[in-house]
Amino acid sequence: MTRPQSLDDLYSRFDGMHMEGGWHRKFPALWPVPEENFLPYVWHYAEVHPALDAAGDLVSTEFAERRNLTMRNPAEGNRYATVRTLVAAYQMVKPGEIAKSHRHTPNALRLILDGQGTTTTVDGKRVNMRPGDVLLTPNWAWHAHENAGTEDCYWLDFLDVPAVHLLEPMFFERHPDGLEDVVEDVENSPIAFRWEDSLASLGRSTDDAGGLCAAQIEMGSPALETIGLYMQRLAAGSTKAMRTTANSLFAVIEGQGQTVVGDVALPWARGDVIAVPAWRAYRHEAGGDAVLLRVTDKPIFEKLGWLREEIA
Ligand SMILES: [Fe+2]
């Protein structure tokens, strides 16, 4: 091996060895504060609803088992995620449609927006899903959904698929029998948070999250290994501002207002989804009483010692 005679020779030798001098990086490896990669954004249910209805006419479930619309963050180069670790989607299920039983390592939950008559079966327990309900399908739990009613049903899905993409422990499997063969109907389940129970708990809550809402409850502790869920009631006016290393998605269950992220104002109404990426200062301004579901990857950051939060 000839000895490189110049720095340029040395660096081209490094390239051939698939190595790089730590003093000569093309891209920095460390920086002082989190970068702003993903963008604040809002998706409006009023725009999505007719698009889902059109998909309902044009896309049968023979063609696509799921009729869902993923919310792709407009950050440059992003192909899928809504924020770094989470993805959200709107889904519509027509009467008589069944999503067959399957399981996967990504954790998931859904928030029901409209329509009566759907059920979800998780590890052999079948529960009704009604508007305002939040239902969990944890890592590797068998789950199937069915619309046994007469109305089109609309819901929001939230999953940690982008986190699984980053860390790569992806496994997915269809149930060998299509559906679980032993199913028990239950009204109460640890995977089901009922709207009326959430409202009652919110009414009793004195936790204002340090001024980030009028009241909040945590659903589960956390709801899923990677995802924390907080139902928050807002009163008219502005909350305090928050900056956290965790990523958040907010779903609007009731009310209207806007979320200000940095210098971007994102107006929202019922059924909308707001993306608040990590380390962006944000505050909510409600036009009156409102209820939001905060879906956050905070449990990941807590477990790893990387949670930093500032309230101003
Ligand atoms: Fe699934």
Range of the domain at 255: 196-311
> Distances in Å between the alpha carbon of 274 and those of 131, 154, 252, 281?
19, 18, 8, 14
Please enumerate in sequence order all residues whose Cβ is within 8 A of that of 204, keeping only pairs 6 or more positions apart, or say none: none
Using the mean position of ligand 1's atoms as its centre, give its distance from the Cα of residue 103 in Å. Answer: 6
Using the mean position of ligand 1's atoms as its centre, give its distance from the Cα of residue 227 in Å. Answer: 16
Name the domain boundary from 193, 210, 231.
Answer: 193
Using the mean position of ligand 1's atoms as its centre, give its distance from the Cα of residue 102 in Å. Answer: 6
Using the mean position of ligand 1's atoms as its centre, give its distance from the Cα of residue 216 in Å. Answer: 28
DSSP string, 15-48: HHTT---TTS-SS-S--SS----S--EEE-HHHH
- Mark whether 212 and 169 lie in a shared domain: no
- Mark whether 94 and 204 lie in a shared domain: no
126 phi-psi bin (left φ>0, alpha ψ -120 to 50, beta other): beta
**The pLDDT value given to residue 56:** 84
232 lies in some domain: yes
- Going by C-alpha positions, the residue among 79, 80, 75, 73 that lies closest to residue 35 is 75
- Mark whether 267 and 179 lie in a shared domain: no
105 lies in some domain: yes
**The pLDDT value given to residue 57:** 85
Using the mean position of ligand 1's atoms as its centre, give its distance from the Cα of residue 252 in Å. Answer: 23
257 lies in some domain: yes
Using the mean position of ligand 1's atoms as its centre, give its distance from the Cα of residue 67 in Å. Answer: 13
- Mark whether 145 and 67 lie in a shared domain: yes
Name the domain boundary from 193, 217, 241.
Answer: 193
- Mark whether 49 and 186 lie in a shared domain: yes
Q: Are strands 184-185 and 125-129 parallel, antiparallel or unpaired?
A: parallel
Using the mean position of ligand 1's atoms as its centre, give its distance from the Cα of residue 35 in Å. Answer: 31
- Mark whether 73 and 210 lie in a shared domain: no
Number of domains comprising the chain: 2
- Mark whether 48 and 178 lie in a shared domain: yes
Using the mean position of ligand 1's atoms as its centre, give its distance from the Cα of residue 16 in Å. Answer: 44
- Mark whether 205 and 153 lie in a shared domain: no
The CA-CA-CA angle for residues 148, 150, 154, to 5°, reads: 80
Using the mean position of ligand 1's atoms as its centre, give its distance from the Cα of residue 156 in Å. Answer: 13
State the DSSP code for 3. Answer: P
CATH number of the domain that 149 lies in?
2.60.120.10
5 lies in some domain: no
**The pLDDT value given to residue 65:** 67
The amino acid at residue 10 is: L
> Distances in Å between the alpha carbon of 211 and those of 100, 144, 266, 268?
43, 39, 20, 20
Using the mean position of ligand 1's atoms as its centre, give its distance from the Cα of residue 254 in Å. Answer: 26
**The pLDDT value given to residue 59:** 84
Using the mean position of ligand 1's atoms as its centre, give its distance from the Cα of residue 57 in Å. Answer: 23
Residue indicated by tokens 């936790």: 207
153 lies in some domain: yes
Distance separating the N- and C-terminal Cα atoms of the chain: 60
Q: Per residue of the chain (312 residues), what is the pLDDT tens digit?
A: 689 999 999 999 999 999 999 998 989 999 999 999 999 999 999 999 999 999 888 887 666 667 899 999 999 999 999 999 999 999 999 999 999 999 999 999 999 999 999 999 999 999 999 999 999 999 999 999 999 999 999 999 999 999 999 999 999 999 999 999 999 999 999 999 999 999 999 999 999 999 999 999 999 999 999 999 999 999 999 999 999 999 999 999 999 999 999 999 999 999 999 999 999 999 999 999 999 999 999 999 999 999 999 998
73 lies in some domain: yes
State the DSSP code for 239. Answer: -
- Mark whether 48 and 172 lie in a shared domain: yes
- Mark whether 85 and 188 lie in a shared domain: yes
**The pLDDT value given to residue 43:** 98
State the DSSP code for 225. Answer: S
